Each structure stands twice: as structure tokens, then as C-alpha cells.
């Protein structure tokens, strides 16, 4: 099951709504290839999703949607452990222990918390949002993870994970493996379409900023054609995240879905108009999404198969995580 000849890799996505091309390009795009090099655990972080629960959406359906998307992205249940976070209670148990090893100050400094807390009002923000990075540390450390592929926005959380793990190891003896990030240079942070100074986020109030993986194609084309570029004259297509945020974002999207280097694309697209460039991106993205959506529907229609995968995944994850939890209990001197 866990033949530890390969390094362990852990990754997760929150099933808090429909996933975006930002989730795919930043994280899930790499998952399929990683299965050959690493012992992979792919988790559906439903407990994290409770920090932003939307009563209208049935979380059960969103979990199965997310799982079907994992499979459509090439995650193979015969190669990897795929599981739902809440099925493995060890995550919540370690979360408490690590909370007692985390500092109020360091959690207050997390950028994501600062951005997501209720309109600058700590009073009405839920504690789960504050504690979010500690649960994330528990996810990672429970499996003696060596590598975590993260988007740039999650890098700070991973640094905190290492800090908490080092602190625990220092206080109680070497229990946790210290994980390393895998950050891909291009596309690890896809920006909003109409305001490319901020990250593309599924919870954006203006849905024209976001492209969802399961979105209908005419809407995808509309959004790309209307996204923000710049007014450089004559128009030039090159990557520069200071001067040309919108164009750089489109280049990153195109590069990720076509597997062509940005340098190569810059040469290939030299001298064309922005409108032509947008058409090229829209067409490539439509082709890519149609294929992904077809595969998604195939898996999503087989709920029995999906349930089976997460049951098997939970059994494996419980076994592995309990090994670590036993070491933790014993290190801190619990009976
Ligand atoms: N916070 C991550 C995100 O929103 C999801 C996540 C939860 C995660 N636990 C994790 C990612 C552990 C990496 C490792 O994208």
C-alpha cells in the first residue's frame, strides 16, 4: 500500500464551490504526472470548506463533483490515495494538538486570514478561518509528507506548517518530516479577468472575473473576449507582471493549457492584435474545457464508483495517519 520507496506528496483542494481554471492551472494540472514520481495523497478538504459554508449548496454533491474532477484531471485511484478529509478523524485530532503549538500572533499574520475575515471585523469572523492554517498543517504532517505542490497564495501556509513542525520536533522529539513546497513558476497564480491585480477566486462577487472548469463554453469565450488588457501602442504581447498584468495572465493561461513555453508563445504571437490574441486563448481554452468536461461527466454519472474510491481512500489514509498520531501522543506523553 505505502511502499515507501517514493517520496510522499500531499495535495488538497477545498470543495467550497465550483473549481476554477486557477485551481486547475495552479494545482491540479500537475497531479497526474506527479503520480509517477511520488506516493501521492489527494485530499478533498471538506473541513476547510466549512470555514466558508454556503447553505444553498449541498456539500455532499460538491464533494462528489470535486472527486469526479480529480479523476478527469488524470488522478488514478490505483496509483494514488484519494480521500475526503472529514472521513479521517485523525486530521481533527492532530489539529487540536498542533493548535496548542501555534501562536496567536503568527496566525494573525496570515495574509489569507487578513483578506477573508469579515470585512475587517474580527469580531464576526469564525475561528475556523483563523485556525485554517493549523488544520492544513495537520493534513500535511499526518502523512510524513515530503512535498506539497502549492500555488503562490498557499506558500505562507506551508511555511507556517514547517514552523509548527519544527517547534513540535524541538519540544517533543523528532516526530514530523519537514515538508518542502513544489511551486511551479508559471501559472501558479491565475489572476482575475477584469482586475488582474487580484487572484482569480471562485467566491468573487463578479463572476465575470472567474472561469469555472464546468462552465459552458459560450460564457467562457465571452469572458475571455471581455477581459482587461492594456493600452500600450502599438499593442505588444509579452510577459511582464508589472506592466502588463492582463496580457501576462492570458499568456500564463495559454501556456498552461497548451504546454507551450511562454517565450515560445511570445514569439509565435508577435505582432498580432489583442483581439486576435483573445480569440486564440478563447479557442484553446474551449477545446481544453470541452475535453475535461466530457471526462468529468463520465465519472460523475457513476456515483457508485466514486463512493467506492473514497471508501478505499479513507481506509488507507486512516491507517497511515494513525501511525503518526500514535507517535505524537507518545511524544507528548499522553497515556
Ligand atoms: N488551503 C488549500 C487551498 O485552498 C487546500 C488545502 C487544504 C491544502 N489542506 C491542504 C493544500 C494541505 C495543500 C496541503 O487551496
Q: What is the pLDDT of residue 2?
A: 53
Q: What is the pLDDT of residue 186?
A: 65
Q: What is the pLDDT of residue 122?
A: 79
Mean pLDDT calculated for residue range 312-323: 98
Q: What is the pLDDT of residues 91-132, one digit of tens each?
A: 999 999 999 999 999 999 998 888 877 766 778 888 999 999
Q: What is the pLDDT of residue 101?
A: 95
Residues designated catalytic: 116, 199, 202
Q: Is it the case that residue 56 has pLDDT exceeding 90?
A: no
Residue 110 in grid coordinates: 496570515
Cβ atoms within 10 Å of 238's Cβ, excluding its own: 17
End-to-end CA distance of the chain: 29
Q: Is it the case that residue 17 has pLDDT exceeding 80?
A: no
Q: What is the pLDDT of residues 228-259, one digit of tens each?
A: 999 999 999 999 999 999 999 999 999 999 99
Q: What is the DSSP string of 215-273?
A: --HHHHHHHHHTS-----SS-----BTTTBHHHHHHHHHHHHHHT--HHHHHHHTTT--
Q: How far is CA 95 from CA 47, 101, 215, 290, 328, in A?
A: 11, 10, 35, 39, 12
* pTM score, whole prediction: 0.88
Q: Is 154 exposed, middle or buried (0-12, 13-18, 19+ CB in 10 A)?
A: buried
200 in a known ligand binding site: yes
236 in a known ligand binding site: no
Q: What is the pLDDT of residue 117?
A: 78
Q: What is the pLDDT of residue 4?
A: 60
How much of the chain exceeds pLDDT 90, in percent?
Answer: 80
Q: What is the pLDDT of residue 54?
A: 65
Q: What is the pLDDT of residues 151-190, one digit of tens each?
A: 778 899 999 999 999 999 999 999 999 999 998 766 678 9
| Pocket residues: Cβ below 6 A from ligand 1 | 10-14, 45, 48, 136, 139-140, 148, 150, 154
Cα(318) to ligand 1 centroid in Å equals 18
Atom of ligand 1 nearest to the CA of 10: 14
The whole-angstrom distance between residue 152's C-alpha and the CA centroid of its chain comes to 10
The structural architecture, per CATH, of the domain 8-188+302-332 is 3-Layer(aba) Sandwich (3.40)
CATH code 1.10.240.10 region(s) in the chain: 207-297
Q: Which of 16, 45, 49 to mutate to test the pocket of ligand 1 (most atoms within 8 A of CB)?
A: 45
CA nearest ligand 1 atom 5, residue: 13
Average pLDDT, the chain: 93
Cα(80) to ligand 1 centroid in Å equals 17
77 in a known ligand binding site: no
Q: What whole-number distance in Å separates Cα of residue 134 and Cα of residue 6?
A: 26
Q: Is it the case that residue 1 has pLDDT exceeding 50?
A: no
Q: Hey, is 223 helix, strand or coil?
A: helix
- What band does 60 get if pLDDT is binned at 50, 70 and 90? confident
CA nearest ligand 1 atom 12, residue: 136
Cα(156) to ligand 1 centroid in Å equals 11
Q: Is it the case that residue 40 has pLDDT exceeding 60?
A: yes
199 in a known ligand binding site: yes
Cβ atoms within 10 Å of 52's Cβ, excluding its own: 16
Strand-pair partners of 12: 43
Q: What whole-number distance in Å separates Cα of residue 224 and Cα of residue 237?
A: 16
CATH code 3.40.50.620 region(s) in the chain: 8-188+302-332
Mean pLDDT calculated for residue range 52-77: 86
How much of the chain exceeds pLDDT 70, in percent?
Answer: 95
CATH number of 207-297: 1.10.240.10
- What band does 51 get if pLDDT is binned at 50, 70 and 90? confident
Q: Which of 9, 13, 155 to mutate to test the pocket of ligand 1 (most atoms within 8 A of CB)?
A: 13
Helices of type H across 186-243: 217-225
Cα(136) to ligand 1 centroid in Å equals 6
Decide if 175 contacts 324 (C-beta within 8 A).
yes
Amino acid at each position: 500500500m505505502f511502499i515507501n520507496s517514493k517520496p510522499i506528496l500531499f495535495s488538497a483542494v477545498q470543495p467550497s464551490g465550483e473549481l476554477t481554471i486557477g485551481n486547475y492551472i495552479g494545482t491540479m494540472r500537475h497531479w497526474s504526472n506527479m503520480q509517477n514520481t511520488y506516493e501521492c495523497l489527494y485530499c478533498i478538504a471538506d473541513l476547510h470548506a466549512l470555514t466558508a459554508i454556503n447553505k444553498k449548496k449541498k456539500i455532499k454533491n460538491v464533494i462528489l463533483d470535486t472527486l469526479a474532477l480529480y479523476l478527469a484531471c488524470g488522478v488514478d485511484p490505483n496509483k494514488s490515495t484519494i480521500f475526503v478529509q472529514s472521513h479521517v478523524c485523525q486530521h481533527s485530532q492532530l489539529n487540536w494538538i498542533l493548535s496548542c503549538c501555534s501562536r496567536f500572533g503568527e496566525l494573525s499574520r496570515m495574509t489569507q486570514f487578513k483578506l477573508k475575515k469579515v470585512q475587517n471585523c474580527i469580531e464576526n469572523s469564525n475561528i475556523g478561518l483563523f485556525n485554517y492554517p493549523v488544520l492544513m498543517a495537520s493534513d500535511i504532517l499526518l502523512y510524513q509528507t515530503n512535498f506539497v505542490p502549492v500555488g503562490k497564495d498557499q506558500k505562507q501556509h506551508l511555511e507556517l506548517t514547517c514552523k509548527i513542525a519544527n517547534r513540535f520536533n524541538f519540544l517533543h522529539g523528532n516526530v514530523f518530516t519537514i515538508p518542502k513546497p513544489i511551486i511551479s513558476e508559471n501559472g501558479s497564480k491565475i489572476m482575475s479577468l477584469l482586475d488582474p491585480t487580484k487572484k482569480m477566486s471562485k467566491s468573487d462577487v463578479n463572476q465575470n472575473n472567474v472561469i469555472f472548469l464546468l462552465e459552458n463554453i459560450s460564457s467562457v469565450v465571452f469572458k475571455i473576449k471581455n477581459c482587461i488588457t492594456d493600452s500600450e501602442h502599438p499593442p505588444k504581447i509579452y510577459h511582464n507582471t508589472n506592466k502588463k498584468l492582463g496580457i501576462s495572465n492570458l499568456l500564463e493561461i495559454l501556456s498552461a493549457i497548451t504546454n507551450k513555453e511562454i517565450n515560445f508563445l511570445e514569439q509565435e504571437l508577435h505582432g498580432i492584435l489583442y483581439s486576435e490574441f483573445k480569440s486564440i486563448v478563447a479557442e484553446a481554452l474551449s477545446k481544453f474545457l470541452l475535453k475535461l468536461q466530457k471526462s468529468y461527466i463520465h465519472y460523475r454519472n457513476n456515483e457508485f464508483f466514486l463512493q467506492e474510491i473514497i471508501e478505499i481512500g479513507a481506509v488507507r489514509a486512516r491507517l497511515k495517519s494513525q501511525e503518526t498520531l500514535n507517535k505524537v501522543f507518545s511524544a507528548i506523553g499522553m497515556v
